[in-house]
A and B are shown apart, each in its own frame.
Chain A
Amino acid sequence: MLIKKPADTRESEVTPPSWYVRRREFLQVAGSTAVAVATGAAGPLFSGTSTVHAQNPAAQKLENLRKSALSTDEKLNSYRDVTTYNNFYEFGLDKGDPARYAGSLKPRPWSVVVDGQCGKPGNYHIEDIMKWFPLEERIYRMRCVEAWSMVIPWVGFPLADFVKRFEPTSKAKFVRFTTLLDTKQMPGQTEPALPWPYVEGLRMDEAMHPLTIMAVGLYGEVLPNQNGAPIRLVVPWKYGFKGIKSIVRVSFDESQPMNTWQRMRADEYGFFANVNPAVDHPRWSQASERRIGEFFKRRTLPFNGYADQVASLYAGMDLRRYY
């Protein structure tokens, strides 16, 4: 497979962790100056998002992370943005709920069941999984179906490496992921907001694409509970809801799985869920998005700006039909 590099990525994006802070301090000054100039007295409006927030001092640090040419060099959203504004209905419907209530989740000990059409099914501990592959930093845009976006420095490994390890058979056409089902750890599951547990899926070629990762951390630390600890999916060219969190099962399927949001509202959410400014959500436009921390909306890019790398996966497909 020919992997093109993203058009907007320069080699210079490979940044040591200690530089995040300096870059963000600079951007904070630049950003708040610009906002202040643009809006007069409303300058402090955005100080909440541009202030440098400490990472969690108690969190385990993930060392010796590889940099990736697939990362973007766009301005990162703050640790606070990334960890306090989440859709994770297992802990409540408000975006602040996951940060407030995800303390009940116990990400250790944790194991992931692998089953279905593969040569090496089994039950694998998260500690082992994290040692199988060198961990990489992947700075990706994340575009939510609700028309907002962030830039997040994930830590993880390619899903392709993970998949190959289990030797999927020729019958394995799809990969299905399942979130933990446990009302004690995930109290939101006592509410019938969604059919639990949350399920997502990828076509095999999507799963094997180098952009697709399993994330086990962000900002150089193990994943906070509210972001889907201990292991979650990140598919940067798809809407955020495809990035299933707190995964306990990975299954190799012959047929296309029914993902949770499609089961819930098939007219609004499909299986593919590729970011597409030309195909609106039935109730709102997908043509633009609000990058968290910015005042005005920006245009949404096809495949969330990853079209050069992934558009070929969908050649010949009617993306209006397969939204």
Chain B
Amino acid sequence: MTSTTAVRRVVKPVVFLASLGPFAWLVYGAFWGDLGVNPVETITNHTGIWTLRFIVITLAITPVRWLTGFNPIIHFRRMAGLFAFFYGSLHFLTYFVLDHSLMFAGVWDDVVKRPYITAGFTAFVLMIPLALTSSQGWIRRLGGRTWNLLHRLIYITAIAAVLHYLWKVKLDTTNPMYYAAIVGVLLAARVWRRARQASLAARVPVRGEA
């Protein structure tokens, strides 16, 4: 078994199941009535924070690959991104169904009026095209260059998600600021690498890299 097939057949399923852990925790808690005095708040906060965590994991994969040269890690980027979308969808559905009783008007009113909802909604909506075009088939259809360009929307999603969290908290912004710092570093790494490549390319013409 080559290292690539080992990753595909063993590590990936394990990581997949682990990524379902936060969801399993919710199902378990709901089943046993163990989600606290305000279960809807618990569900909303839990799905929200795990969405942000998976966005951060997705964003971290490429810089970690640069740093470590461990290329197989790229096999996990799509999975992490899709889990971000999965938890983001649960988060949005909780809000849509339990806060707004499936009324689009109420959601739209929030989106227009409340900056933290505007940010959260933006983060979620921008994940939809990424999830839809996450397959190999779509990479082929769009072409690598276009696909890469499209999937840079994740940067906006990450920024919007952090703002959503930051603007929601009542008082203590410590945790949102941690996430802001992490996302900031992960985005800065890309800017830095691009600038470095540009200066290298100015000296030695090589093929461009997205």
Contacts and interface: CB of A to CB of B under 8 A. Distances in A.
A148 B170 CA distance: 14
Interface string B158-178: 000000000110111000000
A30 interface: no
Interface residues of A, number: 31
A292 B171 contact: no
A81 B116 CA distance: 28
A146 B35 contact: no
Interface in B81-123: 98-101, 109-110, 113-116
B39 A48 contact: yes
A46 B37 contact: no
A44 B31 contact: yes
Contacts of A290: 38, 40-41, 99
A51 B100 CA distance: 26
A46 B115 CA distance: 31
Contacts of A283: 114-116, 167-168
A93 B33 contact: no
A96 B115 CA distance: 28
Nearest to B167: A283
Contacts of B72: none
A110 B31 CA distance: 44
A206 B114 CA distance: 32
B33 A47 contact: yes
B32 interface: yes
Contacts of B34: 48
A55 B104 CA distance: 42
A285 B33 contact: no
Contact of B33 (A51, A96, A295, A297): A51
Interface string A154-194: 00000000000000000000000000000000000000011
A285 B38 CA distance: 18
A129 interface: no
A193 B173 CA distance: 10
A45 interface: yes
A45 B30 contact: yes
Interface in A257-310: 264, 280, 283-285, 290, 292, 295-297
B176 to A, nearest CB: 13
Given A283-B115, A295-B40, A297-B101, A93 B172 contact: yes
B171 to A, nearest CB: 6
B94 to A, nearest CB: 11
Contacts of B40: 290, 295
Given A283-B114, A283-B115, A284-B114, A93 B37 contact: no
Centre residue among B37, B39, B100, B114 by max chain A CB count within 10 A: B37
19 contacts: A42-B30, A44-B31, A44-B33, A45-B35, A48-B33, A49-B37, A49-B39, A81-B37, A85-B38, A95-B37, A148-B41, A193-B172, A194-B171, A264-B171, A284-B114, A290-B41, A290-B99, A295-B98, A297-B98
Given A95-B37, A285-B114, A290-B99, 20 more contacts: A41-B31, A42-B30, A44-B32, A46-B39, A47-B33, A49-B39, A81-B37, A85-B36, A95-B38, A96-B36, A193-B171, A264-B171, A280-B113, A283-B115, A283-B168, A284-B114, A290-B40, A295-B98, A296-B101, A297-B101
Interface of B: 30-41, 98-101, 109-110, 113-116, 167-168, 170-172
